[in-house]
Amino acid sequence: MSLVLINFYRFVALSDCDRWQQRLQDRCAALGLRGTILLAPEGINASLVGDAEAIGQFLEELQQHPSFANLNLKTAVVTDWPFARLKVKVKPEIVTLGHPELNPAERTGTLVAPQDWNQLLEDPEIVLIDVRNHFEIALGSFPQAVDPQTDRFRDFPTFVQEQLLPQQPAKVAMFCTGGIRCEKASAYLLEQGIETVYQLEGGILNYLEAIAPEDNRWQGDCFVFDERIAVDRQLQTPQHHLCEVCGQPVVAATCSHCQDAAQADSSPR
């Protein structure tokens, strides 16, 4: 079966999230779509899958509304359902940093196109930060990128306060999977007084799609939040699984640490 997977977001003021929740729930269900839509006063964030006609119809209808006319949208063709069901939720934030007062719709870092990203990284004053969580970074990243060692995105401000700000960086460049976390993180850095902040436009996935293999500086695989688990430099799906014990991506059923722990727990006492 050939299905279309879409990921999209937009930071935009939404004052009627509850009404949109019911409306989107009903329409997606009628079209047979699966996935997750998050709504918050700051905007919309969604990952949905369905047949091409249904996805196309949904996007056409959604983007007729001014609030959703300029979505940050990515599409991919998949052969199986990466989501088991449909969920439409209202949250305080569409990506949880723990700072709902930020307004990325008004002020974020400077977008850098994938074609200009490699050149930017040649700047010796740049501090390059991978905004993703540590378990994602373990699969792959750009060389020399700082790993903030976060378990969840809302830990990022602690990294900024305790490690980044004391360095007084002149310039910061950041990247994430699809761009949404960088929108929020760059808004936070600007609020904290870092004047020059860059972010990779469209995130890692956009870079992998746009840059030829011989110029591609990405190393390893890129974790994605669906049943594909990860994609490689060619956006193909490598053989990764989620550890049955801790839920982190591995190439076997469990990671070596959890496997050892499980064996110890099952040993005779």
Q: Record the tokens describing residue 201, joined without a space.
A: 């436009």
Closest CA to 22 of 77, 89, 117: 89
φ, ψ for residue 220 (rounded to 5)? 95, -155
Beta bridge partner(s), residue 86: 35
Instruction: Tell me which residues are annotated as active site.
Output: 176
C-alpha 146/C-alpha 131 separation (Å) is: 9
The DSSP call for residue 146 is B
C-alpha 4/C-alpha 48 separation (Å) is: 8
C-alpha 173/C-alpha 187 separation (Å) is: 13
Q: Record the tokens describing residue 88, joined without a space.
A: 């439409």
C-alpha 150/C-alpha 139 separation (Å) is: 15
C-alpha 47/C-alpha 39 separation (Å) is: 12
